[in-house]
Structure 1
Amino acid sequence: MSTDVARKFAAELVGTAFLVMAVIGSGIAATRLSPDDVGLQLLENSLITGAALVALILALQPVSAAFNPVVTLVERSLGLIGTRDAVALVTAQVAGGFLGAVVANLMFELDAISIASTDRSSSGHWLGEVVATFGLVLVIFGCVRSQRSDTVAFAVGGYITAAYWFTSSTSFANPAVTVARMFSDTFAGIEPASVPMFIVMQLVGGALALAAVRLLFPSANPIPEESR
């Protein structure tokens, strides 16, 4: 592994770990602070996740800040990274997600690993994941291909915060995070049986978004100032 790939691997591992810590940790804190109000719990969970994404992307974007296998696969499809790099980054994301779940559990004095029992298997959840992932990929690459990469952190943070609420699945939109959330039987958990279809739907959403990105942004040329 080259030094450049090693740096990207480390950035993706650390970034995804902190993202999962934000998702799971804020979910645990929310249920403890607002035990009788599920709506408030979701608000707290979504705001913390969105804020963490902004901070992590701003910090790690100069190295690598996908934190999401679907985003990495789209980058590979667009020729932005090579196959070996993509494999390394996805590996880092999955490993980082697992690490983040374990640390989040331990921070709140729970078992390091507890298999989630929350059933999220329904056609509504699956459609929600297609929509959530489609929107996320479109937001990211709409910014990137119009040469506004400096806005990605804020666009992604805002989108994910909103998508927690307008999608039926609460917008997992990330295979690495979905797998990680199996290992915490808390507010953000998802039972193992629900995971495969979530990932399939995320890949479908990513593929549809890739087609939309190529249609809407056929080149990486900047959008004329008067058209913005």
Structure 2
Amino acid sequence: MNAATGRRLLAEFTGTGLLVAVVVGSGIAATRLSTDGALRLLVNSVVTSLGLAVLILVFIQAGGAHFNPVVTAADWILGRRYGLGQAAAVIACQITGAIAGAALADAMFAEPVLSPSRHHRGGPPILLSEVVATAGLLFVIVSLSRTGRLQHVAWAVAAWIGAAYWFTASTSFANPAVTIARSLTSTYAGIAPASVPAFIAAQLAGGAIGTILAVTIYPVQCGRIQVEQPAQLAG
């Protein structure tokens, strides 16, 4: 593993962890400050959107600021600028970072750390919502990448996620790593472990739909801003 690869893995671990800490921590704070469901969701969505935008801006030059296995998979399939081994390592760092972020948020608010959630989420409307939320996310990212407008990705992605909190029935998880981590917090943002497989399946389907749609609409890739691309993992 070279230095650039190491930096990318550290960036994905840290960035995904901080993203989950923002999601879970703002959810805990909102429930402690208000009993109003709409106000809780407003706080959670606004804080998550702001935090996500900042994290993308900070980490994008370290290798893309994916923070999401579906985004990493799409990037690897479309670009092939690094090997499958590195893509798998990035996804592993995203998942472990996300779990660490959930634990950090719970610890900051003196909640039980890594306590499985009992909040079951599921049913066709919820899963359809995850398909739509993830499809939109991948469509935004891949479209901006293929048209050379990645300088807009931070605010565009944050705006999509913030909006999808409100117009989807699932409140827009749209991220397998975040979903896994949120199954390990018994707080407002939690999801029961039994609900996770169906959520991830819906996210993968949505990611495929969004990516295919973007490539169909933008079949020719334009120039883009330069992001450091670490070399393939050895072996």
Secondary structure at the aligned position of 1:220 is classed as coil
Equivalent residue number for residue 6 of structure 1: 6
Q: Deviations over 1:177-206 (max 9, x none)?
A: 000001111110000010000000000001
- For structure 2, the 5+ residue unaligned runs are 225-235
Q: CA deviation at 1:112?
A: 1.4
- For structure 1, the 5+ residue unaligned runs are 224-228
Secondary structure at the aligned position of 2:183 is classed as helix
* Structure 2 residue identity aligned to 1:49: T
Partner Cα distance (1:171, 1:147) in 2: 26
Equivalent residue number for residue 106 of structure 2: 105
Instruction: Give the conservation status (yes or no) of the 8 Å contact 2:133–2:174.
Output: yes
Q: Which has the higher contact order (CA 8 A, sep 6+)?
A: 2
* Structure 2 residue identity aligned to 1:131: V
Equivalent residue number for residue 162 of structure 2: 161
Query: Which 4+ stretches in 1 moved above 3 angstroms?
Result: none
The TM-score, its normalising length taken from structure 2, stands at 0.92
Instruction: Give the conservation status (yes or no) of the 8 Å contact 1:75–1:81.
Output: no
Partner Cα distance (1:210, 1:159) in 2: 15
* Structure 1 residue identity aligned to 2:112: D
Instruction: Give the conservation status (yes or no) of the 8 Å contact 2:129–2:169.
Output: yes
Partner Cα distance (1:2, 1:69) in 2: 22
Partner Cα distance (1:39, 1:206) in 2: 28
* Structure 2 residue identity aligned to 1:194: S
* Structure 2 residue identity aligned to 1:68: N
Alignment of 1:32-43 (within 5 A): 32-34=32-34, 36-43=35-42
Q: 1:49 and 2:33 equivalent?
A: no
Instruction: Give the conservation status (yes or no) of the 8 Å contact 2:143–2:215.
Output: no
Equivalent residue number for residue 149 of structure 2: 148
* Structure 1 residue identity aligned to 2:50: A
Q: Deviations over 1:103-157 (max 9, x none)?
A: 0000001111211010101111100000000000001111111101110000011
Identity of aligned residues (%): 46
Instruction: Give the conservation status (yes or no) of the 8 Å contact 2:142–2:215.
Output: no
Q: 1:16 and 2:16 equivalent?
A: yes
The TM-score, its normalising length taken from structure 1, stands at 0.95
Partner Cα distance (2:223, 2:73) in 1: 23
User: Mean Cα displacement is larger for which, 80-89 or 176-185?
Assistant: 80-89
* Structure 2 residue identity aligned to 1:67: F
Equivalent residue number for residue 202 of structure 1: 203
Partner Cα distance (2:160, 2:82) in 1: 25
Equivalent residue number for residue 93 of structure 2: 92
User: Mean Cα displacement is larger for which, 105-114 or 75-84?
Assistant: 75-84
The CA RMSD over aligned residues, in Å, is 1.1
Instruction: Give the conservation status (yes or no) of the 8 Å contact 2:26–2:47.
Output: yes
Partner Cα distance (2:15, 2:99) in 1: 12
* Structure 1 residue identity aligned to 2:216: L
Partner Cα distance (1:120, 1:112) in 2: 21
Q: CA deviation at 1:222?
A: 5.9
Q: 1:58 and 2:57 equivalent?
A: yes
Partner Cα distance (1:222, 1:71) in 2: 19
Equivalent residue number for residue 123 of structure 1: 124
